[in-house]
Structure 1
């Protein structure tokens, strides 16, 4: 299995920390360096044991690295990549864990134009409503999908390095363009988060004691950080709004069936949803 040498992880929280733990557990890195924003974050990462060493000095960490993984919120990825590339050695590979790709990849490729450092966009589909290095797990990516988003500017060797990284952590790697990624994830992740948040907000606080497993399952992702999700939604607005329109149309048909007391139509809509959910498995 490929060894990735020294790996710098900018933002060793849930995803970044899980990458660090997975690299160690699978023996595919010589050393991991966590890059944090504060001394308090450095202490958290080291206490959780998600990286071998941690520092607030991004430049020093990236100067040592053979591979750099940026796991900041999407709004901070382009700047972090630019700072990392300025410090890294020629040929170093940078990838990220951002939940949106089109605008992000365009910004990073523009910032790194002419740089000897190589970038490949990635999105590990393994998030959680929990956050921080304390929630990280070595097997978080095992059996999960990671989407890589090469463009015509992507270096083929760098793409293979990044694919091997994710495969070495147990993930199944899928490849699509940044635009295809954003259109798909708007339907499977971004719109569902909006719907979960709206449902949670529409539930009166005094009735929370009457909620059961269905409400909790449906609204689980609404517990994710509001700032993080604000940036994701506003970085992929058009595709998210289109996905929400499709949801609204489907909801409207079910509402009308209920209003008409149409037992057959109500059953058909509910059964269609059940079959789609059953197709995913447990």
Structure 2
């Protein structure tokens, strides 16, 4: 698969991923983009084997509820008429909260299999309405899948044929190659699917931990294919930029290779380190151990799916890490102080650069 915009490479991703502050000119640019998008909308009417998600057609609609802190800032010109979030957990809830605060959509609809949880999210102010079938959301909907990555492709394939023209589906999944390959035939069609990965998150779960500023100053990777229409690429790019993110384009394979190094291997390392702690040593742990293993507290089901979807690049990354650990081991056993210091200095220099 060819990428529509291949200017951003791995070095760009590594340099941007750890940015914590938004560009000072982003607010003005985003406002211009919203006006352009409003004009546009007026002119155009694996190996993991978990069971796929399913939805019924039940619709629940209530008047919107104001959530303190989320409704603090809205604009008169929303980017999208209808934003649909499939899976209103930490990420989905944070997208809803951020879109609400920034005025990116006139209506925010939540989709899921648990009407009770959806209604709780609506009562908390994240949503204007809830449904259990994303295909009932209406025309020109902007749909974001925030479900486990091993469910997304199959669910999207079932929904796309039932969507009206003008709808677009993207996602927030941590892996891209398998998903984009499965949905490649929809590139350039209307409705369509175009992959995304907002690189932000937490080890916590549930919309109760949602943060409307979770995405501000962070990076979102989009993975357009050669068949995607420029207007669809622009629409997806503008949405994530509207949440305060820096948007870069990579091929699905490039994305998965890079994220294996920057996210997936680190999670395995944190899990292995946490698992290696003996009961007798637990009382002696400090902030260093806690911060190094923090992400190991993530949902095991979610991370099993991510690792299965990106198994090859993650396994390769672990081999490279084992080789570097071997360098440390040999320096220690040989009492080679200069070699040990050199390894530590190189690591410090690279780590310091992340904050630069």
Fold match by TM threshold 0.5: yes
Equivalent residue, structure 1, for 2:308: 234
Equivalent residue, structure 1, for 2:108: 32
From 166, 191, 198, the counterpart of 1:91: 166
* TM-score of the pair, normalised by structure 2: 0.76
Structure 1 portions without partners, runs of 5+: none
Cα distance between partner residues in 2 of 1:47 and 1:187: 39
Cα distance between partner residues in 2 of 1:68 and 1:199: 38
Kindly indicate whether the alpha-carbon contact (under 8 Å) linking 2:84 and 2:111 is maintained by their aligned counterparts in 1. yes
Cα distance between partner residues in 1 of 2:280 and 2:154: 43
Equivalent residue, structure 2, for 1:22: 98
- CA positional deviation for 1:80: 2.4
Q: 1:48 to 1:208 in 2, by over 3 A?
A: farther
Runs (4+) off by over 6 Å: none
Equivalent residue, structure 2, for 1:189: 263
Match runs of 1:9-158 below 5 Å: 9-61=85-137, 63-64=138-139, 66-110=141-185, 112=186, 116-158=190-232
Q: 1:148 to 1:208 in 2, by over 3 A?
A: same
From 252, 255, 261, the counterpart of 2:329: 255
Kindly indicate whether the alpha-carbon contact (under 8 Å) linking 1:85 and 1:115 is maintained by their aligned counterparts in 2. no
- CA positional deviation for 1:65: 5.1
* Number of positions where the alignment pairs a residue of Structure 1 with one of Structure 2: 280
Cα distance between partner residues in 2 of 1:259 and 1:178: 42
SS of 2:247's equivalent? strand
- CA positional deviation for 1:42: 1.2
Cα distance between partner residues in 2 of 1:268 and 1:256: 13
Match runs of 1:152-231 below 5 Å: 152-231=226-305
SS of 1:31's equivalent? strand
Kindly indicate whether the alpha-carbon contact (under 8 Å) linking 1:191 and 1:244 is maintained by their aligned counterparts in 2. yes
Given the alignment of the two structures, is residue 7 of structure 1 paired with residue 73 of structure 2, yes or no?
no
* TM-score of the pair, normalised by structure 1: 0.95
Higher helix share: 1
- CA positional deviation for 1:115: 5.1
SS of 1:23's equivalent? helix
- CA positional deviation for 1:109: 2.4
Q: 1:35 to 1:65 in 2, by over 3 A?
A: farther
Deviations 1:163-215 (A, max 9, x none): 00000000000111000001100010011111110000111134222111111
| Larger relative contact order (Cα-Cα within 8 Å, sequence gap ≥ 6) | 2
Cα distance between partner residues in 2 of 1:117 and 1:209: 56
Cα distance between partner residues in 1 of 2:140 and 2:306: 28
Cα distance between partner residues in 2 of 1:223 and 1:49: 27
